[in-house]
Amino acid sequence: MAATVILCGGIAAMHVDFSRHSEKIRAIQHALYNHEFVLFYQPLLNAAGQISGAEALLRWQEPGKEMVPPSEFIPDAQRAGLMPAVGEWVIDNALSALAAWQRDPAMAHLTISVNITVDHLMKADFVERLIHLADVRSVAPSRVKLELTESVFASDIETVVAKMHALAAAGFRFSLDDFGTGFSSLNYLRRLPLEQIKIDRSFISGATEGPKGAVIAMNIARMGLELKLEVLAEGIETAEQWLLMQGFGCTAFQGFYFSRPLSYSDFRLFAHRNSPGQQNGVAAEVSQ
Ligand code: C2E
Ligand code: MG
Ligand code: MG
């Protein structure tokens, strides 16, 4: 009797889990087809504190509700096999934004960085679709940076390397995101057409918390530089972190210290205020 009750309870719990999961999947599909996804843009800066590009960051804005961050729905979308569709929406919208910036003299120098999940990258037609979308939107692939995380190296590495080379040959650029936190990919650094590594935020905060943290951050930066990669410090929150990471040779920066991710129109204002032609760029603003 007791066993039957436990078994029934287990099945009921599984049923609740399953229907919650299918509800989430339906909601994500609904969001995709009803324009509830929105891109925010976080400024990327050079060593002079001038804006050099943006990272496109996805949010979910259901009418009348709070904006939902990507960590709360991307894992579900991935489990449901919806990330290729969501990712394609992100790429298309990010490229449309880039096309508009290319027509604006104050923004024409900007690049756009887009996060790519491994299941999307591994779609058979990923390379062709990306080249096609850049062509349709009339954007230069050299202004598009594809951010991969070390998790891609846990999948079929030969296919990943081949796809990266095909896209690099078409002019796209690659950045290794959250560097140092994931699968140990050091061996693959030699084989990948990477242009940039992004040192994960945890190392940046660690760098100003004690001598060991500083040594780790310094050596990650040094390794990137010696491999002739651009080294971007992610998650800069204080002037101290910015100065320290500049001292370690980083030449690109991103973080709340400069700006949080911004809506399309706020990003445009930010870029106009901080373009290289402006004397009062972010460097001047944040050092006050
Ligand atoms: P990520 O690619 O490493 O993006 C940087 C994340 O760090 C963003 O969070 C950004 O808001 C946050 N961040 C930037 N500067 C600071 C800082 O100074 N302090 C702190 N505490 N946080 C900072 P967000 O937008 O919530 O995105 C989280 C993650 O979700 C991203 O990490 C990325 O892995 C994923 N993601 C976001 N948009 C997309 C997308 O369009 N496609 C895919 N596949 N993944 C995405
Ligand atoms: Mg990223
Ligand atoms: Mg990151």
Nearest CA to ligand 1 atom 27: 70
Hey, which of 37, 45, 57 would you mutate to test ligand 1's pocket, going by the most ligand atoms within 8 Å of its Cβ? 57
Sequence-distant (6+) residues with CB within 8 A of 82 are 25, 28, 29, 32
Average of per-residue pLDDT values in the chain: 91
CA of 261 to the centre of ligand 2 (A): 12
Task: Tell whether the torsion through CA atoms of 126, 197, 253 and 225 is positive or negative.
Answer: negative
Residue 134 pLDDT: 98
Rounded Cα distance between 217 and 93, Å, is 34
Percent of the chain scoring above 70 in pLDDT: 89
199 in Cβ contact with 221 (< 8 Å):
yes
pLDDT in tens, 235-282: 999 999 999 999 999 999 999 999 999 999 999 999 999 877 665 556
144 in Cβ contact with 95 (< 8 Å):
yes
CA of 19 to the centre of ligand 1 (A): 29
CA of 46 to the centre of ligand 2 (A): 17
State residue 146 phi and psi, 5-degree precision.
Answer: -100, 120
Q: State the first-to-last Cα distance of the chain, in angstroms, to the nearest integer.
A: 72
Which ligand is located closest to the Cα atom of residue 256?
A: 1
pLDDT in tens, 213-238: 999 999 999 999 999 999 999 999 99
For the segment 114-133, the average pLDDT, to the nearest whole number, is: 97
Half-sphere exposure (CA, 13 Å, Cβ side) for 146? 33
19 in Cβ contact with 68 (< 8 Å):
no
Give the residue among 85, 84, 93, 94 at the shortest CA–CA distance from 121: 84
Rounded Cα distance between 64 and 262, Å, is 20
Q: And the tokens for 19?
A: 């229907």
228: left (phi over 0), alpha (psi -120 to 50) or beta: left
- Confidence check: pLDDT of 43 > 50: yes
Sequence-distant (6+) residues with CB within 8 A of 52 are 44, 45, 46, 109, 110, 111, 252
215 in Cβ contact with 177 (< 8 Å):
no
For the segment 108-116, the average pLDDT, to the nearest whole number, is: 97
User: Which pLDDT band holds residue 162 (cuts at 50, 70, 90)?
Assistant: very high
Residue 2 pLDDT: 56
CA of 274 to the centre of ligand 2 (A): 22
Pocket of ligand 1, beta carbon within 6 A: 42, 56-58, 69-71, 74, 87, 90, 115, 117, 147, 177-178, 201, 235-237, 254-256, 261
Residue 23 pLDDT: 85
- Confidence check: pLDDT of 81 > 70: yes
For the segment 76-103, the average pLDDT, to the nearest whole number, is: 96
79: left (phi over 0), alpha (psi -120 to 50) or beta: alpha
